[in-house]
A and B are shown apart, each in its own frame.
Chain A
């Protein structure tokens, strides 16, 4: 487990910045734990025989909700706890199996302040295996604009995700 206590502020972020990559060796436990943590009981996420002989794939594979959790962890490792997710958009291209080393990488597409004064960063995050894109995800995350700003205090018209 990583411990994230960073506090990224908008002035620290610039278009084109790259996030530190995260590499992780996926095991059957990764897949099954992720599926059960997200209450996804479908057999292709825990039953090798079903995945291979019914679904025709090489093994059990990571489910979508758990991939979302991996993306969230990756982004908030970078922002620290004051980073607040606003929006995520996924495009699934391929599956992630036990034995794969998945790599998450991210690039800052834009950094801006909205008309309510909230600081926003737009990220493009990729999940690859052996350099092949498996899922990409655009993320809009709010981060503080100053020492005394906290996006989590925003509600109603002051929160425009």
Chain B
């Protein structure tokens, strides 16, 4: 997708491009038990996750599998007093509503890994809208593409990873 053509995008959306939104603290510290459960689920025997001597030698101590990045932000299935659960990738749903596009698909998902995540880390995240396309028509329908970055940081404000999603919000039957 090309960069945003601001002539084709409403001013209120242009103002959001590059802005930090939906800052969120993880509900719990990065947890060794989930590391083992995840490794068990895919039979991952990488000694970095099972053998402290290897982890100390290679990664200066235990780390979590990099692909678990988003795991640390999935909310508990239930929590006392909680009435509403926030949606992951809220910016995506905001854009669907703003443009009146009832359907959406994710066409690409890229994860970039930076500082290793370690058991005990307290991570935080936020979302950044990177671009919005002019109106497009595909075989699915008519709508717009957008790119949203979800950036993750540790308690030392070091970047630990970025997930980029390309979404296409659309209305059926206008192709």
> What is the interface of chain A, defined by CB distance below 8 A to chain B?
1-5, 24, 30, 33-34, 36-41, 64-66, 68-73, 76-77, 81-82, 84-91, 150, 152, 155, 159, 161
Contacts and interface: CB of A to CB of B under 8 A. Distances in A.
Contacts of B108: 89-91
A64 B58 CA distance: 28
Given A77-B44, A150-B58, 11 more contacts: A1-B44, A2-B44, A40-B74, A65-B67, A69-B41, A72-B42, A85-B113, A86-B113, A87-B113, A89-B109, A155-B115
B119 interface: no
Given A88-B111, A90-B109, A71 B46 contact: no
Contact of A37 (B40, B47, B59, B66): B40
Contact of A73 (B44, B60, B71): B44
A61 to B, nearest CB: 15
A27 to B, nearest CB: 12
A3 B110 contact: no
Chain A binding site: helix, strand, loop or mixed by DSSP?
mixed
Interface in B60-98: 60, 65-68, 70-71, 74, 77
A120 B67 CA distance: 18
